[in-house]
Amino acid sequence: MYPSLHERYGLSRVINAAGTYTPLGVSRSSDAVAQATVAALGDFFVIDELQEAADRALARHSGAEAGAVTHCVAAAITQAVAAAMAGSDPERVAALPDATGMPDRVVIPAGHAVDYGHPILTDIRLAGATPVVAGTERGCSLAEIDSALAQRGIACLLLVSSRLTRGQAVDLAEAVAAAHRHGVPAIVDGAAQDLRMRELLATGADLVVFSAHKYLASPTAGLIVGSRALVQACRAQERGIARAMKATKEAIVGVLAALEERERLDLPQWRASQRVKVANFIGQASAIPGVRATEVPDPAGMPFSRVCLEIVPSGRGWNAEALVAGLAAGDPSIRTMDRAAGQGRLHLELVPLSEDELQAILDRIATLARELGAAG
């Protein structure tokens, strides 16, 4: 369509094996999604009609009562918290982030206070609310959630379903039930787990939010699904703090196209093709000296695996950190998940990559193994 962007603006070419990572452009849209987005850019719409179409599509897709599109999940979290505080009341909506006279405390388990590029607590504070962090990084019991919810001025409970959460897992359904016992809504951030929409709604959460630009691969957008009254209250914030968080026309149209594509997707066949991709990659990577390749399930329960490369250091410079750096330094720059590089491992997510790109990664690893002196 516009093939020379990297040359035209002097940009690094990237092979992204690091997953749906914001600093690398997150995902790749299909041609159909890109074309719908382009068509939207050239025209006018009644935005409420676009949001109503998204509402119908999201309700059909998720089984929730209602849905809406926002600028991104960070925005969706702020809007959901604001909705729990102000509802759709025009005066309250206009007053935020001044929360005087409104319930303004948001309970979040300590292990869910994640940093996905910025602290999720910032999303809470942006609404004018104050986070109440329950439990510790090691864990948060139901009793601890319960006693935090029993304080005065609680607006809602915020839970995160992500590979970024820490400590003993919180049972989402039990935590949601606790919020309901205290008469406040529960919001679940399921950002990178759009394939688990129905599962996360089945926890009983009042609102669940997803990034549409992650695995759904639409233009940048956040999806909110849940109860009609609260979804409407999220949109009502567009007349207040969420003016800066609104979905664009092209994003809403891109989301609609991506949802249609998702509904046509043969999921069992897609999962099988991901398994083949991972197995082939592991087979070839295992033949490279100094590399042990294994399959690891997605830590957040998405239906595909990652590749783990365990690097056997040679004492001559070949180790996981040198491999990560060598991959990133090339052209194209190959980006991997390097959080465990200090422990001798790196992870690769292959979902968006083409056969040519997978081959380019394997070739580069083999070259670096030779150059850095991997032991055979």
Ligand X SMILES: *Cc1c(COP(=O)(O)O)cnc(C)c1O
At closest approach, how far in Å is the CB of 111 from ligand X?
12
Contact 231, 224 (CB under 8 A): yes
Number of residues that bind ligand X (CB under 6 A): 14
Question: Which of residues 80 and 282 has its CB atom nearest to ligand X in the complex?
Answer: 80
CA–CA dist 302, 346 (Å, integer): 19
Binding marks (x or -) toward ligand X, 12..51, rule CB under 6 A? ----------x-----------------------------
Give yes or no for residue 222 binding ligand X (CB under 6 A): yes
At closest approach, how far in Å is the CB of 34 from ligand X?
19
In the range 77-116, which residues lie near ligand X by CB under 6 A? 114, 116
Return the number of other C-beta atoms located less than 10 Å from residue 132's C-beta. 18
Question: Which of residues 127 and 164 has its CB atom nearest to ligand X in the complex?
Answer: 164
At closest approach, how far in Å is the CB of 208 from ligand X?
12
Closest CA to 291 of 348, 330, 329, 339: 348
Give yes or no for residue 72 binding ligand X (CB under 6 A): yes
Binding marks (x or -) toward ligand X, 257..296, rule CB under 6 A? ----------------------------------------
Contact 176, 149 (CB under 8 A): no
CA–CA dist 75, 150 (Å, integer): 27
Binding marks (x or -) toward ligand X, 131..160, rule CB under 6 A? -----------------------------x
CA–CA dist 352, 220 (Å, integer): 16
Contact 338, 324 (CB under 8 A): yes
In the range 183-202, which residues lie near ligand X by CB under 6 A? 189, 191-192
Return the range that interacts with ligand X (CB under 6 A); candidates 3-11, 69-77, 137-145, 150-158.
Answer: 69-77
Closest CA to 158 of 120, 193, 212: 120
Half-sphere exposure of residue 337: CA atoms within 13 angstroms, side-chain side: 18
At closest approach, how far in Å is the CB of 344 from ligand X?
26
- φ, ψ of residue 210 to 5 degrees: the values are -140, 150
CA–CA dist 138, 324 (Å, integer): 30
CA–CA dist 334, 244 (Å, integer): 34
Among 136, 162, 232, 280, contact with ligand X (rule: CB under 6 A):
162
At closest approach, how far in Å is the CB of 191 from ligand X?
3
At closest approach, how far in Å is the CB of 19 from ligand X?
9
At closest approach, how far in Å is the CB of 48 from ligand X?
22
At closest approach, how far in Å is the CB of 312 from ligand X?
32
Give yes or no for residue 252 binding ligand X (CB under 6 A): no
Q: SS3 of 198, please?
A: helix
What totals of helices (H) and strands (E) does the chain contain, helices first?
14, 12
DSSP string, 291-317: EEEEEEE-TT--SSEEEEEEE---SSS
What is the chain's alpha carbon radius of gyration, rounded to the nearest angstrom?
22
Residue 259 DSSP code: H
Among 15, 34, 58, 74, contact with ligand X (rule: CB under 6 A):
74
Question: Which of residues 19 and 185 has its CB atom nearest to ligand X in the complex?
Answer: 19
Token pair in block for residue 372: 């850095």
Binding marks (x or -) toward ligand X, 294..333, rule CB under 6 A? ----------------------------------------
In the range 163-182, which residues lie near ligand X by CB under 6 A? 164
Question: Which of residues 116 and 270 has its CB atom nearest to ligand X in the complex?
Answer: 116
At closest approach, how far in Å is the CB of 173 from ligand X?
19
Closest CA to 207 of 67, 12, 52, 31: 67
Closest CA to 59 of 216, 197, 177: 197
Interface residues with ligand X (CB under 6 A) are: 22, 72-74, 114, 116, 160, 162, 164, 189, 191-192, 211, 222
